[in-house]
Amino acid sequence: MKNWIRITAIDGVVTISATVDGVEITFVGASCPASVRPGSANLTSFSLAPEVGKPAVVGMRTRCSSPSGRAPTAFEGYMLMIGWDGDKAVCNLKEDFVPRSNCLATVNQEGMLTLISGENKFVFASMCSDRGTVNNHVTSGFHELKDSTLAFKFINGDITIDELTQETGPTKADLESVKIIELTERVQCLERDLEKTVNLLTQALSTIQNTQNILRARNIIGTRILGWKKKLEAALSA
């Protein structure tokens, strides 16, 4: 839970660290520079450097296991807002982060970020996220982000949805649609080629049949000429 971590701020640098043994933190991402890469897992602490006077949002997942192994391992995913009191960074762990109305964002207990804004859907998988769950999101039309920083910048209101979508590639559904279109065009092209081939074969068969008919006619005429020749030779010798 949130009481598994503590936040300290010194000279504008915010450090988030575990409060007890057995707690591991996964850094899902933030809207400001951080000391570790988005998706990094098995951390006991990490630091952020938000711009002075400017709010920032950070997402993480905590895992707490009992050293004795007697208690079940517990997980929690959440986002926190870092604000400012003058030139001092502050964060109230008792307050839940509430995103903007056009920005439905959450971090689940697997450390997976999902973001929905209108018809735009995004997912980011940290090191501990279940790939099966991520793939299900991608198949259903989510853009998979390789870096969550821009997503958190959008959540924080620093960039627009257009700026976020420009940095993402097509969804799996988009790629499959393009693939279907390409395959359809290839099939249609093959059908046209096949039709041309059939026409050429038909013409060739017609030519062969005409040639055979001509040869038959020549054979018949030749046979008749030979018969007439023999009759003429017989008449002349008589």
Which of 125, 142, 169 is the last residue before a domain boundary? 169
Residue 35 structural domain: 2-169
Highest mean pLDDT, choosing among 14-23, 95-104, 187-196 = 14-23
Mean pLDDT of 198-223: 74
**Coil vs helix vs strand at 20:** coil
Q: Are 64 and 132 members of one domain?
A: yes
Q: Are 91 and 158 members of one domain?
A: yes
Q: Are 65 and 128 members of one domain?
A: yes
Instruction: Write the pLDDT tens digit of every residue in 143-157.
Output: 888 889 999 999 999
Instruction: Write the pLDDT tens digit of every residue in 74-88.
Output: 888 999 999 998 888
- Report how far residue 32's alpha carbon sits from residue 45's, in angstroms, rounded to the nearest whole number: 16
Where do runs of H (alpha helix) occur along the chain? 131-139, 149-155, 161-166, 172-237
Q: Are 28 and 79 members of one domain?
A: yes
- State whether the Cα torsion 60-79-81-163 is positive or negative: positive
Q: Are 92 and 34 members of one domain?
A: yes
Residue 88, pLDDT score: 87
CB atoms within 10 A of CB 126: 24
Q: How far is CA 159 from CA 27, 111, 132, 149, in A?
A: 21, 23, 30, 11
Q: How confident is the model at residue 15 (pLDDT cuts 50, 70, 90)?
A: very high
Residue 193, pLDDT score: 73
Q: Are 153 and 188 members of one domain?
A: no
Which of 154, 169, 184 is the last residue before a domain boundary? 169
Which of 138, 169, 200 is the last residue before a domain boundary? 169
For the chain, the domain total comes to 2
Q: How confident is the model at residue 68 (pLDDT cuts 50, 70, 90)?
A: low
Q: Are 181 and 93 members of one domain?
A: no
Q: How far is CA 65 from CA 1, 52, 74, 222, in A?
A: 12, 36, 7, 105
